[in-house]
């Protein structure tokens, strides 16, 4: 999603954008956004398993050969990497082919692929300041997000929420979050407010909607409208915190405890220090605790309003444009093609 936001900014400047990716969510999202997608077969490294690591290394070697061929075929003037193991072979191909490389890091730490590729990049665009990553090579841009929805009345009408009714939005990322899903159904079973819950397709069959006030869905397209329609967000604290901030929503965050370098806790505490969020550690999450914390926030309109203002102040609405400028500057004044992965 951050790469799509940057791609849109590049396309607005006349660049031709091609994505190079794996066989995950990009198989649907990239073509749906109107971009060509080329795929590479890759497997992640499994630390401690020699056979799987050797197999993954062999597949990565073949992917590097294909990536070099793809960049020549596309005649790419610039390459941008958005992190993840799929990015490695394309970034390496750019470096070997002396093509300008720009990296984008969406989390509060530099992932393995970006750490390896950073010495070869013209610029590394960071969502957050990262200790030890400063100087001319690094620039804090924020995390690119889609343009936020702006018509709250239309957003509420879409979900059938009256203007005067309070709405709590619950979500846990594209795959959902089981601990949040279970706690929310229990916590809000008898709620006197509307609940809009994007649970993910994986858990949806096992979750009963506890009443007509509870709108339970697997996935919500045009998610910015769900954010705008809500009065409070209950969520994980990955890169979606920038979408929450772009919508100016107060949040109750439950960091995913197994995120790399515990970056979701770092993200959540960043919002908490700014006054934009409250935090519940995942191992303390229960239905009663969630009901108590949400009830406390909803009972204090003054605090909610202050949290909303603090959230909006954290937004970086120009992140996609700023990263696109870095890519175009690296690629040349009038680029022909820009390859993404």
Least confident of 128-132, 160-164, 269-273: 128-132
> Cα(5)–Cα(2) distance, rounded to whole angstroms?
5
More confidently predicted of 163 and 23: 163
For the domain made up of 2-145+317-340, give the CATH fold.
Rossmann fold (3.40.50)
- Residue 116, burial from CB neighbour count under 10 angstroms (0-12, 13-18, 19+): middle
- Would you say residue 21 has pLDDT above 70? yes
Q: Which residues contact 36 (CB under 8 A, 6 or more apart)?
A: 18, 19, 30
Topology (CATH) of 152-314? Rossmann fold (3.40.50)
Residue that has been written with the tokens 């992965």 in this structure: 341
Residue 25: pLDDT band with limits 50, 70, 90: confident
Tell me the average pLDDT across 234-247.
94
Query: Does the pLDDT at position 340 exceed 80?
Result: no
Domains of the chain: which residue ranges? 2-145+317-340, 152-314
Assign 3-state DSSP to the chain and report helix, strand, coil percentages, each to 5. Answer: 45, 15, 40
- How far apart CA 75 and CA 329 sit, in angstroms, is 17
Give the residue with greater pLDDT, 167 vs 47: 167
pLDDT confidence tier of residue 201, bands split at 50, 70 and 90: confident
Of 38 and 261, the structure prediction assigns the larger pLDDT to 38
Q: Are 2-145+317-340 and 152-314 in the same CATH fold? A: yes
Number of C-alpha atoms within 13 angstroms, CB side, residue 264?
19
Return the pLDDT at 153. 96
d(CA 45, CA 47): 6
> Would you call 100 exposed, middle or buried from its count of C-beta atoms within 10 A (0-12, 13-18, 19+)?
buried
Q: If you average pLDDT over every residue of the chain, what do you get?
A: 90
Does residue 13 or residue 130 have the better pLDDT?
13
pLDDT(333) > 50: no
pLDDT tens profile 73-123:
999 999 999 887 778 899 999 999 999 999 999 888 888 889 999 999 999
Residue that has been written with the tokens 């066989």 in this structure: 23
Of 9, 306, 17, 305, residue with least CA distance to 147: 9
Question: What is the model's pTM?
Answer: 0.83
């Amino acid at each position: 999603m951050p790469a799509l936001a940057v791609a849109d900014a590049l396309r607005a400047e006349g660049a031709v954008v091609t994505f190079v990716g794996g066989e995950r969510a990009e198989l649907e999202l990239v073509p749906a956004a109107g971009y060509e997608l080329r795929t590479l077969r890759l497997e992640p490294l499994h630390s401690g398993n020699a056979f799987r690591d050797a197999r993954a290394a062999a597949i990565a070697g073949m992917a590097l050969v294909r990536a070099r061929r793809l960049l020549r075929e596309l005649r790419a003037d610039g390459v941008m990497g958005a992190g993840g193991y799929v990015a490695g072979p394309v970034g390496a191909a750019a470096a070997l082919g002396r093509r300008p490389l720009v990296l984008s890091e969406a989390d509060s730490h530099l992932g393995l692929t970006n750490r390896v590729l950073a010495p070869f990049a013209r610029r590394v665009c960071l969502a957050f300041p990262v200790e030890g990553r400063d100087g001319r090579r690094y620039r804090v841009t924020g995390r690119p997000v889609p343009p936020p929805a702006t018509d709250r009345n239309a957003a509420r009408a879409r979900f059938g929420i009256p203007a005067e009714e309070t709405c709590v939005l619950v979500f846990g990322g594209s795959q959902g979050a089981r601990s949040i899903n279970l706690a929310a159904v229990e916590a809000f079973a008898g709620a006197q407010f509307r609940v809009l819950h994007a649970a993910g397709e994986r858990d949806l069959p096992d979750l009963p909607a506890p009443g007509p006030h509870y709108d339970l869905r697997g996935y919500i397209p045009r998610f910015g409208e769900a954010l705008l329609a809500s009065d409070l967000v209950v969520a994980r604290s990955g890169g979606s915190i920038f979408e929450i901030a772009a919508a100016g929503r107060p949040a109750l965050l439950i960091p995913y405890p197994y995120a790399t370098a515990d970056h979701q806790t770092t993200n959540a505490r960043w919002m908490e220090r700014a006054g934009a969020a409250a935090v519940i550690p995942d191992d303390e999450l229960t239905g009663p605790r969630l009901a108590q914390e949400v009830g406390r926030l909803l009972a204090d309109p003054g605090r909610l309003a202050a949290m909303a203002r603090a959230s909006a102040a954290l937004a970086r609405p120009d992140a996609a444009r700023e990263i696109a400028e870095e890519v175009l500057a690296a690629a040349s004044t009038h680029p022909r093609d820009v390859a993404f992965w």
